[in-house]
Structure 1
C-alpha cells in the first residue's frame, strides 16, 4: 500500500506551473525558489521512486521515525534528525520504514544560483546522519516559517520570503555541515547531555538516566549543566518540551492528549499544568488564540 501523499495532518504545497513561470522571469526569485514543500507526520507506507530523478534539488529532514533513501544504488539510512539533499536527475527511491514510519519535512527547489552554496552541491547527495543540538530547532523553524507563509496561498511576496528563508537554511548547512555549536561551551559532558535530550525529547527524560548515559554522577552533571547553561537539567528539558508543544499546537490538528503522549507525558492534565506554568495559558487557550 505505497503512498506518495495524503497522510493525516500533513502539509502539502505544490506551486502551480504558471506561478513558477513568474518566479523564473523575476530577477530575484529566479536565483533560488521552491516548487514543492511539505510536512508528512507518521508517513506510513510513504514511498517515492523516480527512475530519472527529479528536475529540482530535494531536501528531506527526518524529525521522527526512520526511513531510507537510495540514490544511484547507494543506500542512506535516515533516523531522527537526519537530513539529506538529493541532486536532480539521478535515480532515487526514498521510503518510510515499515515498523517506524518517519516524520519528514521536505521541499523541492531550484534556481540559477542553487548550486553556488559551498560544501553541499555536487553530483552526490549531501547527507548529515545526525544534526546536532539547537541546529535541529533552527532547521525546523525555517521549514515551519515556509509552511506558515504558504498556508494563506501563493503570492510573489510570499515566494520571495520563502526563497530568502531557504537561502539562509542552505548557508546554515553549508557553513556547519551538521556541526552547529549549541552555544554552550566549557564541557563535553554538557554538549553530550544536550544532544541526548534532543534525541529523547519525545520520551520521559530523567536526570539520573542522562548521568548514567554519560557515566558521571547526577550531582556533578547538575552542577556543571547549570553553571554553563544557567538552567537546571529539568528546567532545560521542560522548556524544550514546551517549545515543541507550541509547534504541535500551532501547526497540527492533533489533540492535546496526543501532544502530551508524543512528548512523554502520560497524564495530559499534568502536561497542561506544566504548559500553563511556562506560557501563562493552557494548551487549549493557546491554540484558540491562534484560530
Structure 2
C-alpha cells in the first residue's frame, strides 16, 4: 500500500493507494451458468450423488427440503441461503412443495480455480425474505442492464460473505512472480494434457527445476497436478455446458484417445463421462 501527499493550491491531501488490491480486483472472474425461480415437489426434486463444476446457491422462500453429503443432513428452511460448493458430491429432496431461487455460479481465483472448489461443507446464512422477494421480482420481471447489475451485486455480496466463512481473517494478496504468472496464463489459455514442464521452461528460458520449484512454492502444487486439476474441471464444464461428444472433449483437452480420457475421468470422479453427463442433465435445472 502506498501513501502520497498531494498539494492542490492551498490544500494538501493524504492519498492512500493500494495498487495490489486494484490489480487483484481486476482479475475477479464471476459467471452465472443458470438461474431460476422454481416451485419444486417431492416428485420433481430428488437426486442422489450429484457433483457439479459450479457452486449452487439456493434462496429458500417457502417450504422445506433437505441436502445430504458425507453423512451429514442439512434441512433447507425459508429465509435462508445455502451454498453447495463446486465439486461437492451431495443428494437432495423434499417432502412437500418448496419455493426457491437458484443460481449456478463460478467465482474464479487468478490461478484459475473456483474459490469454493475443494470446500467440503455446505454453507448457509440467513437472508431477509423481503430481499429474496426483491431478488425474485428483479430476476423474473426485469430485462434491463441496471437490473442485471443489481441481481449480480446481490448474489456477489452473499458469495463474498460465504468466502469469509471458508477463509476467515485477513488473506494476503497473491502476488506471483513474472515466470509463474506467465506460466499460469499460458496454461489457462492453452489448456491441454500435452503441455509439459520442459516446454513451459523453454518458453521462459529457464531450467525445468527452477520453474518447477518456483511454481510449487507460489501456487502450492506441482505444475503437473495444476494442469490435471484444470483439465478435469474444464472437462466437467464442457460436459455440462456444451453438446460436444465425449470424443471431441477428449481431443480438445489433449488426451491421446477417448478411452484413456474415460479411464482417467472415472478414476477421479467414480463415474464414466457418459454417466456423469446423464446425471448432470437430469439435475441441471435444480
Give 1 or 2 for the bigger CA radius of gyration. Answer: 2
Name the TM-score, length of structure 2 as normaliser.
0.42
Name the TM-score, length of structure 1 as normaliser.
0.41
